[in-house]
Amino acid sequence: MLRACTPGDFEAIYAIVNEAAGAYRGVIPADRWKEPYLSRTELREEIDAGVTFWGCEIEGELVGVMGIQPRGEVALIRHAYTRPARQREGIGGRLLEFLRARAGTPLLVGTWRAARWAIAFYERHGFRPVAGDESAALLRRYWRIPERQVQTSVVLADRPPRGAAT
């Protein structure tokens, strides 16, 4: 069952993100890895900044989450994670298509350039990589991330934002 996450889901969201983000250890630049990958404080800041989480619940357990953050003429997919034991069951795809159907604006997702599996996931769902310079410009415009993360990330779009070249 797909549903909006509630404040009571905070600890489950935190656990899912950090459990699943373990896949990045040793893949992304070492200077960008930390434990926990997303702290409770950072998660609260994301929610306070307008990230709304949706989740997939199976047999009463939240097993996957995906956030969406409206940013004017686009919406960002944020913190899309599925518990490792439940990956490859289509949970992420269901959440993505659910949010995509409701967005009403182009969707952008930023991910690590080295996370080939994440890029392939979004491409399977119709997202396309944004050209290098434009990708960096979008990361600087819509995300609050350090320059080092801009340099090591890529943006994918489900359709070009107005005025963007993809």
What band does 68 get if pLDDT is binned at 50, 70 and 90? very high
The predicted-structure confidence for 117-162, as pLDDT tens digits, reads as follows 999 999 999 999 999 899 999 999 999 999 999 999 999 999 977 6
For 22, other C-beta atoms within 10 Å of its C-beta total 12
* Whether residue 165 has pLDDT greater than 90: no
DSSP per-residue letters across 64-106: EEEEEEEETTEEEEEEEEE-GGGTTSSHHHHHHHHHHHHH-S-
* Whether residue 164 has pLDDT greater than 80: no
Residues 52 and 130: their CA atoms lie apart, in Å, by: 24
Going from N- to C-terminal start, the domains of the chain cover 2-157
Contact between 86 and 63 (Cβ < 8 Å): yes
For 78, other C-beta atoms within 10 Å of its C-beta total 20
What band does 163 get if pLDDT is binned at 50, 70 and 90? low
What band does 166 get if pLDDT is binned at 50, 70 and 90? very low
Residues 48 and 42: their CA atoms lie apart, in Å, by: 10
Q: Which CATH number, 3.40.50.300, 3.90.550.10, 3.30.210.10, 3.40.630.30, labels domain 2-157?
A: 3.40.630.30
The predicted-structure confidence for 72-117, as pLDDT tens digits, reads as follows 999 999 999 999 999 999 999 999 999 999 999 999 999 999 999 9
Q: Between 132 and 7, where is the model more confident?
A: 7
The predicted-structure confidence for 17-28, as pLDDT tens digits, reads as follows 999 999 999 999
Print burial letters for 90-116: b (CB count within 10 Å at least 16), e (below 16): ebbeebbebbbeebeebbbbbbbbbbe
Task: Give the pLDDT score at 103.
Answer: 93
Task: Give the pLDDT score at 132.
Answer: 83
